């Protein structure tokens, strides 16, 4: 081959290699609106938290618009102060679902990509935190070891500035691959949480490990499993809905989704139960919000008594003009 033609011949290969390197990579920075985009909490005492693996559904995005609608409805019905989400999709048709939910329901939010790349394949997914309170110090960290070339797992961290002080929030999604890789990621997560938290913390996510696994047994020596700690709680399976159009009798087989409490401080756990745990009637049939069910927690503070009833927050669709945005 003519040496003069060699660089031109290699160019398509180099471009292909560059594209492949960008197809799936975790975000180096966090994006979102950390302050000024939230409807103020209603002033009720205590703290309500939701966690859910949303199921992005790539590449078919099965029933995604309808499922996002169901998820939004449940978040609003529960009147959550903080929402911790995994498998949050960005699609060409729907945009960043974390931003969509935050804008519609009146939350500050942060989001970090774990896999995919909107610029390369017009899809990505990651973790998100929605909060009625300002969010500070948002950051993302990739967990090791990596499960594969195109599979990344991350933890998203931010501090919610509540009226009672800072609350460290961590949301993650560990691999469903080799158990030893999952265990390594759990150890990396534990180290990161202990390094970053400055006080009371919640660590939520899809851990893809059952309570009797070595990694969960290790974590629960350090952290409190809220499903076991709440009064009158009865931990139930959280996964998996095999058919999103199945009826209410769908059987779940394993518990792999958790919210852990670390150094509770003045928080005390009043209630822990499943959420997003039943299908709804949509277009004449049944539809589940996700293939996982979520978790709902209600916390009180040491100086408070009594529990809050369900509430619906009235949303002002016009956010403050003093929004604080961050972009990747």
240 cis-preceded (ω within 30 degrees of 0) = yes
pLDDT: is 207 or 45 the higher one?
207
Give the closest residue to 107 by CA, choosing from 78, 77, 137, 129: 129
Give the closest residue to 198 by CA, choosing from 247, 161, 251, 225: 161
Q: How confident is the model at residue 148 (pLDDT cuts 50, 70, 90)?
A: confident
pLDDT, position 119: 85
Residue 19 in any domain: the answer is: no
Residue 18 in any domain: the answer is: no
pLDDT, position 19: 44
| Domain of residue 211, CATH code | 3.60.10.10
Contacts of 304 (CB under 8 A, 6+ apart): 45, 46
The stretch 34-56 carries a mean pLDDT of: 89
Q: How confident is the model at residue 305 (pLDDT cuts 50, 70, 90)?
A: very low
Residue 17 in any domain: the answer is: no
The stretch 99-109 carries a mean pLDDT of: 97
pLDDT, position 120: 80
pLDDT, position 316: 40
Q: What is the DSSP letter of 64?
A: H
Q: How confident is the model at residue 186 (pLDDT cuts 50, 70, 90)?
A: very high
Residue 171 in any domain: the answer is: yes
Residue 9 in any domain: the answer is: no
- Asked if the model's pLDDT at residue 24 lies above 80, the reply is no
Residue 3 in any domain: the answer is: no
Residue 8 in any domain: the answer is: no
Neighbour-count burial of 45, counting CB atoms closer than 10 A to its CB (0-12 exposed, 13-18 middle, 19+ buried) = middle
pLDDT, position 246: 97
Number of structural domains the chain divides into: 1
Q: How confident is the model at residue 317 (pLDDT cuts 50, 70, 90)?
A: very low
Q: How confident is the model at residue 307 (pLDDT cuts 50, 70, 90)?
A: very low
pLDDT, position 313: 38
Residue 55 in any domain: the answer is: yes
Q: How confident is the model at residue 328 (pLDDT cuts 50, 70, 90)?
A: low
pLDDT, position 22: 54
Determine the distance from the C-alpha atom of residue 144 to the mean position of all C-alpha atoms in its chain, rounded to a whole number.
19
Domain around 98: 24-326
- Asked if the model's pLDDT at residue 253 lies above 70, the reply is yes
63-84 pLDDT, tens digit per residue, is: 999 999 999 999 999 999 999 9
pLDDT, position 265: 83
């Amino acid at each position: 081959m003519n040496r003069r033609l060699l660089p031109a011949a290699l160019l398509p290969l180099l471009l292909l290699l560059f594209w492949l390197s960008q197809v799936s990579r975790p975000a180096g920075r966090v994006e979102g609106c950390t302050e000024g985009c939230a409807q103020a909490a209603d002033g009720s005492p205590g703290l309500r938290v939701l966690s859910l693996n949303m199921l992005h559904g790539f590449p078919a995005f099965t029933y995604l618009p309808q499922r996002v609608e169901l998820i939004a409805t449940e978040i609003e019905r529960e009147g959550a102060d903080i929402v911790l989400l995994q498998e949050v999709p960005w699609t060409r048709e729907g945009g960043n679902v974390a931003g969509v939910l935050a804008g519609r329901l009146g939350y500050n939010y942060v989001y970090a990509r774990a896999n995919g790349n909107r610029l390369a394949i017009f899809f990505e997914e990651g973790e998100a935190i929605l909060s009625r309170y300002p969010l500070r110090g948002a950051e993302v960290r990739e967990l090791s070891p990596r499960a594969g070339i195109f599979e990344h797992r991350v933890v998203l961290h931010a501090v919610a500035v509540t009226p009672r002080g800072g609350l460290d929030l961590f949301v993650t999604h560990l691999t469903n691959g080799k158990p030893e890789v999952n265990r390594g990621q759990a150890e990396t997560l534990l180290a990161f949480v202990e390094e970053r938290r400055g006080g009371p913390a919640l660590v939520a996510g899809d851990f893809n490990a059952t309570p009797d696994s070595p990694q969960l047994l290790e974590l629960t020596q350090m952290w409190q499993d809220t499903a076991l700690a709440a009064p009158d709680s009865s931990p139930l399976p959280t996964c998996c809905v095999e058919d999103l159009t199945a009826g209410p009798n769908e059987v779940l087989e394993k518990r792999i989704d958790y919210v852990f409490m670390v150094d509770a401080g003045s928080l005390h756990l009043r209630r822990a139960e499943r959420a997003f745990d039943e299908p709804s009637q949509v277009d004449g049939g049944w539809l589940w919000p996700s293939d996982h069910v979520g978790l709902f927690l209600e916390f009180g503070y040491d100086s408070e008594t009594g529990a809050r009833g369900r509430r619906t927050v009235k949303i002002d669709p016009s956010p403050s003009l003093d929004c604080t945005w961050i972009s990747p």
